[in-house]
Amino acid sequence: MRLKTLLLLPVLLLSACYPQVPTTPVEEIQNGKDLYSQPLNWQPCNNGFECSKMVVPLNWLEPQGEFFEVSLIRKAGSEQLPALVVNPGGPGASGVNFVKDSYEQIGTSNLRSSFQIIGFDPRGVGESAPVTCTDIELKDEVYYGWSPYEFGSTADLEWSKDLIERFAASCQTVGFDVAYFNTQQTARDLELLRILLGLEQIDYIGYSYGSELGAVYAALFPDRVGKFVLDGAADPTIGAGQTLLNQIVGFDSAFRAYLENCLTITECPFSGDVESSLLEVKAMLNQLEAAPLATDFGRDLSVTAAIYGIIAALYSQDSWVYLSQALSEALQGDGTTLMLLADFYNDRDPDGGYTSNINEANVAISCADDRVREGEANQLRPALLNASEVFGKYFSYAELSCAGWPEGKGMLALDFEISLANGPLVIGTTGDPATPYSQAVSMSELLDGARLVTYEGEGHTAYGSVECVNEYVEAYLAGETLPDDEMRCS
């Protein structure tokens, strides 16, 4: 017996000497530390930036349950400047990557020298409890595969629904309940950031979906609205069906503008007029439904990938030259450049992985916020088909897009016409394909004290690339009085 006791003694002594594992920030909050007094510990990261994290509850309406961390970034050495938070859109785009990878393209040099620009990954995105899909091959099938059945047939719809549901399930096997990854919950995360930064009001620039996030924040915390720039504005009051229809109208208009320009150039793959060119693209896509095109990558281009490729190039007029090359190749049986554009749109890398989770985060957040239901989809279908001869057909079964994804939790009815501490500056581009100009007009009429800047041109968002728009934004952020008359740029 004695021998056994002696043998056990070193084990007991070693156990007593184990270093105590420090608690994590999440554990500290779970153990009772005040959520609103947690420090933002900025640390050097990514060669010239500083990163931090803040702990947020999964459900702000019942903040005693699960918690996770939201990632933040800012330029090193900017801490003495006034804070300004940015969101690049999506939903699903990483604000951390936006600041880290595109800092010199954010706004203007005057903006970057005047503000501490802070990017964050919204919940479910990037490094903030990301939506994680465990089956990459299944993800590839959703974004690049093709149905073995005739498009729109009962068998095709059943096949598509099954695929989307299996993909959704693969994205919910790990992590948190994605029903809480909705825009209202993210807006409440933004309010916590304001508090932890010690601000009375928060200044903010939101692009595209980021404008919707800004509007939701304004409805929830109207007294805390500082200078808000909402570029490529998305009307937060219209439903998912109308949003989709507006986008199809927008992309159709942008595609027509591309073709009008293309037909004036020698290298254009089309001849004749816009209508005949549209029919040519429509016929090519119809052929792709049954027989995908070969590419130089050993991956065949499906009609789904072709649509993504075309849409990717319509976001900016600078990309039209690549669209011409892609369509010229495709019309000759080569899908290589269209596949490159689709990969760019989907953040797919050459090795077969994905550089971000933007697609799964996008669908999770969008479906938590709102969705097209079957009855609405049946009514919407004729309008979609009529809205675009090229694109309408491929988005006409919108009720399938959220199959398997949960509806949002922890959401309240919002009043977007509530009085705000400061009026936002709304920017709309007349040829914007993704958030059509009409939504900028409606947002400027909806939000208290808002002013509208109109850019007469093509592309998605304008601040940072259009000098006239830049001047209005800089004046607004500096607190200068804006003109009483209409603000238009061309």
> pLDDT tens across 446-462, in order?
999 999 999 999 999 99
Token readout for 338 is 């269209």
Q: In what order do the strands lie in the sheet with 67-75?
A: 43-45, 49-57, 67-75, 116-120, 83-87, 202-207, 225-231, 425-431, 451-458, 487-489
Contacts of 148 (CB under 8 A, 6+ apart): 159
| % of the chain with per-residue pLDDT over 70 | 96
Whether residue 387 has pLDDT greater than 60 = yes
**Tens digits of residue pLDDT in 164-189:** 999 999 999 999 999 999 999 999 99
Residue 53: band (very low, low, confident or very high) from pLDDT cuts 50, 70, 90: very high
**Tens digits of residue pLDDT in 232-289:** 999 999 999 999 999 999 999 999 999 999 999 999 999 999 999 999 999 999 999 9
Query: What local confidence, expressed as pLDDT, does residue 3 receive?
Result: 38
Q: What is the mean pLDDT of residues 40-64?
A: 97
Whether residue 2 has pLDDT greater than 70 = no
Query: What local confidence, expressed as pLDDT, does residue 19 receive?
Result: 54
**Tens digits of residue pLDDT in 461-484:** 999 999 999 999 999 999 999 999
CA 280-283-286 angle, to 5 degrees, is: 155
Query: What local confidence, expressed as pLDDT, does residue 64 receive?
Result: 87
Q: Please, what is the average pLDDT of the chain?
A: 94
Please report how many Cα atoms fall inside a 13 Å half-sphere around the Cα of residue 463, on the Cβ side.
32
What's the whole-model pTM score?
0.93
Whether residue 54 has pLDDT greater than 50 = yes
Query: What local confidence, expressed as pLDDT, does residue 23 receive?
Result: 82
Query: What local confidence, expressed as pLDDT, does residue 22 receive?
Result: 64
Whole-angstrom distance between the N-terminal and C-terminal Cα of the chain? 93
Whether residue 87 has pLDDT greater than 60 = yes
Q: What is the mean pLDDT of residues 96-115?
A: 97
Comma-separated ranges of CATH 3.40.50.1820 domains in the chain: 13-131+175-237+420-490
Per the CB < 8 A criterion, the answer to whether 225 and 218 are in contact is: yes
Give start and end residues of each alpha helix (H) in 294-432.
Answer: 303-314, 320-331, 336-346, 358-369, 374-387
DSSP E strand stretches across 344-450: 425-431
The residue type of 272 is G
| Rounded-to-integer distance, Cα 292 and Cα 308, Å | 14
**For the domain with range 13-131+175-237+420-490, which CATH number is right: 3.40.50.10790, 3.40.50.300, 3.30.559.10, 3.40.50.1820?**
3.40.50.1820
**Closest by Cα among 171, 202, 208 to 187:** 202
